[in-house]
Amino acid sequence: MQKPLNQRWVAINQRINNITQMESPLDFKLFQPKKELSTYIQGIWSAAVSPDSSGNVKRWLQGDACSGIIFNLGENIRLNDSQFSEKIILLPISMEAHSITLFPGAQLAGIRFHPGIGTGVFGAQNDKPMILTDCNQLQGLQSTIVRLEKAFGHQARIAVLYKWLKNRVDFSEVIPKSLLHSMSILKTAQKNRVSGSDIPLSQRQIERQFQQWVGMSPKRYQRILRVYKAINFLKHNPDTNLVTLALNNGFSDQAHMTREFNHIAKITPKRYSKRIVSR
């Protein structure tokens, strides 16, 4: 027997409420450039937290050897244990995962640079989040802030940042091409588990360039690549055997892999795979 109309409406509204409660208060959009810009930019993103959110939103940012810039269009955000209200925040080279906390009503956008690129764009490395107060440091940055504040929605903000990167930032000589080539070879070697003997630099040269531009040794860079290669595999194969995963990705054993995950990604492989399964 069919339920009365008012009972059906109650049931429908309850299902809507249940779905709404399950949804994340964080609204996030990521754009990954193609072609030439993809050599330098990992992603352009926009994020917002509903003003009606019942609490703060905390997320972990990957320790992936990249750096970035955040355009804070709201009030405050928290990076690790420090709170920021400034408009432009340069993120340091990330050697291990760190947290970002967003408060209800937060509005922000940003750019994630591939390893070494942020150093070339901004002319220096920073070991902690840094406030960019001189908007004339990069041509067009002040007007970009104004456009971002006027932009409505994620797509519009991403378009503003994409145009700034394309029209105002010269990537032609941002870092040495030999370093870009060396990093590409190391990634391929890590992916295929082969020797990186085709690197066009001496050991001393590559050590110096990595420290100058990437902010770490090639060995540490390879450790980060190895962890995130394993993470990407777990993302698509969460039920995989962890001993096999460790051996297939160059770790000496499962315990070695767990230590590296804990240090770089701030999560164990077991917990990460459980998180993927529960989504």
Q: What is the pLDDT of residues 100-110, one digit of tens each?
A: 999 999 999 99
CA distances in angstroms from 53 to 24, 70, 86, 149, 179, listed in the order given: 9, 22, 22, 21, 44
Q: pLDDT tens, 73-108?
A: 998 999 999 999 999 999 999 999 999 999 999 999
Average pLDDT value for the chain? 86
pLDDT above 90 for 261:
yes
Three-point CA angle 69, 46, 225, nearest 5°: 60
Q: Which pTM value belongs to this model?
A: 0.83
CATH 1.10.10.60 residue spans of the chain: 177-278
What's 177-278's CATH class?
Answer: mainly alpha
- 24-168 has which CATH code? 2.60.120.10
pLDDT of res. 198: 58
pLDDT of res. 84: 95
Distance from C-alpha of 89 to C-alpha of 122, rounded to nearest angstrom:
12
What single-letter amino acid sits at 197?
S
Average pLDDT (209-238) is 93
From the list 247, 221, 220, 212, the residue with the least C-alpha distance to 233 is 247
pLDDT above 50 for 165:
yes
